[in-house]
Structure 1
Amino acid sequence: MNTATSATTLPDLTEPAFWARADSHLVLRELRRQAPLWRLESETEGPLWCVLSHALAGEVLGDAARFSSERGSLLGTGRDRAPAGAGKMMALTDPPRHRDLRGLVMPFFSKRKAAELKGRVAALTRRVVQGALHAPETDFVREISTAVPLNVMCDLLGVPDEDRDHVVRMCDRAFLGDTPEERAEAHQQLLPYLFALGMRRQTDPRDDIISTLVTHEVDGHRLPLDEALLNCDNILVGGVQTVRHTSTMAMLALTRHPDAWRAMRADGYDAELGVEELLRWTSVGLHVLRTARVDTELAGRRIRAGDRLVVWTPAANRDEEEFEAPDRLRLDRTPNRHVAFGWGPHYCIGAPLARVELACLFDALTEAAAWVEVLRPPVPNRSLINFGLDSLDVRLHARRPTG
């Protein structure tokens, strides 16, 4: 049984600045060596159980009967308040309702659908990379990593061509605005647009996500329009943010590990393995929250019904018990059972598409650029949800033509 550990010896993992520290993984390794489960008294979030090992992460995320999503899947709503959308959004429901909601949109995110979209993703990506290739400098975040997933999500949601530029501008501000206030304002503008589009699709449905959610039934009843659009909004945010942050942090990692960049450009490079390792290494989705539904035991500790547990993804993805030499970036790593996309019933529905988008991006970059130069120190964000960069100013140095 783990001995209880005083919270005063545990850094506040709910403080975003911890994750920007150069020694954060060393700290997590020492904590995990002492115990895989720690009790934290967070000033902003209250008492939390912190899951730091890969095995415990799988146990918590894989067992919806003991650990619920309905009281929140992410920190940030405070100590005792259930988030808006609880019991309505896929991310905030438990089986069987979660399974029913997920089933509605699964055809848009299947491996088969991702394979069908690969040609469009590759073409969009090459266009974005070529546009940056001869620029004296490019903000990788704004001009490369966000453009393709945003356009692909507009395709899947069913945003009409005539609205596309307007929606992209709103999303740009919602995701990349300079201040929290600007991002919140843009998001509030986006929701009425989705609501109006949802009303149109109720009477004129198409083959898209919005039409599916506003016209199909769950448990014998059509979803209320607000619930359908909450899910659309959640899908849009998840579909853009995961790829945006992973690709940016992966690009930064490759500039710091030139041997990995060379391996990516070498004959025999396996893009599928490479993408999985970049997902593990970056682990940009910092945490997943669950609430105990019943009194239970975890790692020898007594967990009470109502206790909140946080799976810290970067800790689980650097666990020496699961990954050999976890602090080495090895693009040929196999097996690689990372939890960057979660685990269990809430495993990221968009994972197949995200993998395609990431593979196409780094294929286009290595095809066009001999190397990527970071022009000034990157600016980390202050998010506890998706750890990434607010900006990454780079110059793409073109490959010399052969022959």
Structure 2
Amino acid sequence: MTSVATTVDLTDPSFWATEDCHQVLRALRHAAPVHLIESAEEGPLWCVLSHQLASAVLNDATTFSSQKGSLLGAGKGKTPAGAGKMMALTDPPKHRDLRRLVMPFFTKSKAAELTPRVHQLTAGVVRAAMDRGDTDFVRGISTTTPLTVMCDLIGVPEDDRDHVVRLCDAAFLGDTAATRSAAHQNLLPYLFQLALRRRADPREDIISTLATHRIDGDLLPLEEVLLNCDNILVGGIQTVRHTATMAMLALIDHPEAWAELGARTCDSALAVEELLRWTSVGLHVLRTATRDVELAGRKIRSGDRVVVWPPAANRDETEFDAPTQLNLRRSPNRHLAFGWGPHYCIGAPLARVELAGLFTTLAHQAEHPGLQAPPRYNQSIINFGLDTLEVRLSPRP
């Protein structure tokens, strides 16, 4: 079977903000579950749109490697910095070894241990937002708790918190790409200095664990400590922030779902899974074929780049009943919002706790929110989200 080419550029961020993007994805998926597109910036890309094939690609790290990049953006023929050194850009066994190092900080039991802390932080954030009435959900609500919890886990000292929070706010919420990039570059030297301090005086935190780890007697290079801490920090904040913001927009559009959450007539754990499926903010996952292989009759050559698109897979009718309906009671719900296979999101248990704490608190305490201005979508092909979401929160009687 010959390859199917499409004129739809899935790597264009503006496509994902269109009202009919999911209808377009459905039509493409029905035509063929794998499409070849030619991106001006990225070159030829094999795009996987079905749930079955997406799961298969993500589960096979031997055939579909992360070593040459896990996300688009580096450009055609370019290998990103950190390749082979950070969890996201390594394959087993190194990926497994790095993951095992920090896994104790992200287990289900650790997430349960952190739940009271998450609820305390969330309660304060929601109370402050309710006092304001009108608030930007992005800056006023969605970021605070995940940022604070990640500082706890990484080991940022209390005396440094204000400084790191300012850097992270600018790195993640800056008004321009240049502002965000500059702030992120300022964050890296701080993490480097902290790693040096923790290598000499280790604590029970992520950066100490990485900074004191030895491989065959040699300490893990500081560059790899830095890259992996940065990767964990960004992932732990960005995924929750974008999911929370897009989930709030979904709940504004679906008042019946908000009422279910507020009345406790649905299980909060199931509700979070459905909000994760519905939003699917991680737009894509990149892999590189290590050998010639076939996907749905398409001949993928060794070295070809394969892109899984979770928003398409998570609305596949062959996996989900009525996928275009937001159903907070949906079960089972084998969504791919956190990925699949060896690279399944290490922070998923904590993210679930943070999202459940936020939306149960909000829905129990606030009337159905009102949208105060049209939401402003970001221009990212990595995490689809909003730059602003102006809402009005009024206390329930």
TM-score (norm 2): 0.99
Residue 61 of structure 2 aligns with which residue?
64
Residue 32 of structure 1 aligns with which residue?
29
Residue 237 of structure 1 aligns with which residue?
234
Residue 396 of structure 1, CA deviation: 0.3
Which secondary structure state, in structure 2, belongs to the residue aligned with residue 297 of structure 1?
Answer: strand
Which secondary structure state, in structure 1, belongs to the residue aligned with residue 47 of structure 2?
Answer: strand
- 1:194-205 → structure 2 map (5 Å cutoff): 194-205=191-202
Residue 84 of structure 2 aligns with which residue?
87
Residue 325 of structure 2 aligns with which residue?
328
Residue 136 of structure 1, CA deviation: 3.5
The CA deviation string for residues 352-383 of structure 1, in whole angstroms up to 9 with x for no partner, is 00000000000110121022111000000000
Q: CA RMSD in A?
A: 0.9
Q: What CA distance in whole angstroms lies between the structure 2 residues aligned with 1:364 and 1:218?
A: 44
1:339 aligns with 2:336: yes
Residue 287 of structure 2 aligns with which residue?
290
Residue 226 of structure 1 aligns with which residue?
223
One-letter identity of the residue aligned with 1:192: P
Of 205, 208, 211, which residue of structure 1 is paired with 2:205?
208
Residue 357 of structure 1 aligns with which residue?
354
Instruction: List gaps (5 residues or longer) in structure 2.
Output: none
Residue 298 of structure 1, CA deviation: 1.1
One-letter identity of the residue aligned with 2:286: L
Give the number of aligned pairs: 397
Structure 1 residues 60 and 219: alpha-carbon distance in aligned structure 2, compared to 1, 3 A threshold: farther
The CA deviation string for residues 190-235 of structure 1, in whole angstroms up to 9 with x for no partner, is 0000000000000100000000000012455321011111000000
Residue 185 of structure 1 aligns with which residue?
182
1:130 aligns with 2:127: yes
The CA deviation string for residues 11-65 of structure 1, in whole angstroms up to 9 with x for no partner, is 0000000000000000000110110000001111000000000000011000011
Which secondary structure state, in structure 1, belongs to the residue aligned with residue 97 of structure 2?
Answer: helix
Q: What CA distance in whole angstroms lies between the structure 1 residues aligned with 2:280 and 2:12?
A: 17
Residue 263 of structure 1, CA deviation: 1.2
Residue 151 of structure 2 aligns with which residue?
154
The CA deviation string for residues 59-116 of structure 1, in whole angstroms up to 9 with x for no partner, is 1000011000000000000010110000000000000000000000000000000000
Which secondary structure state, in structure 1, belongs to the residue aligned with residue 369 of structure 2?
Answer: strand
Q: What CA distance in whole angstroms lies between the structure 2 residues aligned with 1:227 and 1:200?
A: 16
Contact 2:263 2:364 (C-alpha < 8 Å) held by counterparts: no
Q: What CA distance in whole angstroms lies between the structure 2 residues aligned with 1:136 and 1:277?
A: 27
Residue 4 of structure 1 aligns with which residue?
3
Of 260, 264, 268, which residue of structure 2 is paired with 1:267?
264
One-letter identity of the residue aligned with 2:180: R
Of 384, 387, 392, which residue of structure 2 is paired with 1:387?
384
Q: What CA distance in whole angstroms lies between the structure 2 residues aligned with 1:123 and 1:267?
A: 20
Residue 152 of structure 1, CA deviation: 0.3
Q: What CA distance in whole angstroms lies between the structure 1 residues aligned with 2:216 and 2:184?
A: 30
Q: What CA distance in whole angstroms lies between the structure 2 residues aligned with 1:189 and 1:219?
A: 32
Of 31, 43, 47, which residue of structure 1 is paired with 2:44?
47
Residue 10 of structure 1, CA deviation: 3.1
Residue 304 of structure 1 aligns with which residue?
301
The CA deviation string for residues 303-349 of structure 1, in whole angstroms up to 9 with x for no partner, is 10000000011000000000000000000000000000000000000
Q: What CA distance in whole angstroms lies between the structure 2 residues aligned with 1:367 and 1:225?
A: 45
Which region of structure 1 is more displaced relative to structure 2, 328-337 or 362-371? 362-371
Which secondary structure state, in structure 2, belongs to the residue aligned with residue 370 of structure 1?
Answer: coil
Contact 1:371 1:398 (C-alpha < 8 Å) held by counterparts: no
Contact 2:133 2:394 (C-alpha < 8 Å) held by counterparts: no
Q: What CA distance in whole angstroms lies between the structure 2 residues aligned with 1:292 and 1:54?
A: 19
Which secondary structure state, in structure 1, belongs to the residue aligned with residue 393 of structure 2?
Answer: strand
Which region of structure 1 is more displaced relative to structure 2, 363-372 or 349-358? 363-372
Contact 1:245 1:387 (C-alpha < 8 Å) held by counterparts: yes
Q: What CA distance in whole angstroms lies between the structure 2 residues aligned with 1:369 and 1:394?
A: 12
Residue 20 of structure 1 aligns with which residue?
17
Q: What CA distance in whole angstroms lies between the structure 1 residues aligned with 2:253 and 2:147?
A: 27
Q: What CA distance in whole angstroms lies between the structure 1 residues aligned with 2:266 and 2:292?
A: 48
The CA deviation string for residues 107-165 of structure 1, in whole angstroms up to 9 with x for no partner, is 00000000000000000000000001021410000010000000000000000000001
Which secondary structure state, in structure 2, belongs to the residue aligned with residue 38 of structure 1?
Answer: strand
Q: What CA distance in whole angstroms lies between the structure 2 residues aligned with 1:217 and 1:263?
A: 50
Which secondary structure state, in structure 2, belongs to the residue aligned with residue 48 of structure 1?
Answer: strand
Which region of structure 1 is more displaced relative to structure 2, 136-145 or 345-354? 136-145
Residue 345 of structure 2 aligns with which residue?
348
Contact 1:158 1:208 (C-alpha < 8 Å) held by counterparts: yes
Residue 4 of structure 1, CA deviation: 2.7
Contact 1:108 1:156 (C-alpha < 8 Å) held by counterparts: yes
Which secondary structure state, in structure 1, belongs to the residue aligned with residue 186 of structure 2?
Answer: helix
% identical aligned pairs: 68
Which secondary structure state, in structure 2, belongs to the residue aligned with residue 230 of structure 1?
Answer: helix
Residue 267 of structure 1, CA deviation: 3.4
Which secondary structure state, in structure 2, belongs to the residue aligned with residue 47 of structure 1?
Answer: strand
Contact 2:375 2:389 (C-alpha < 8 Å) held by counterparts: yes
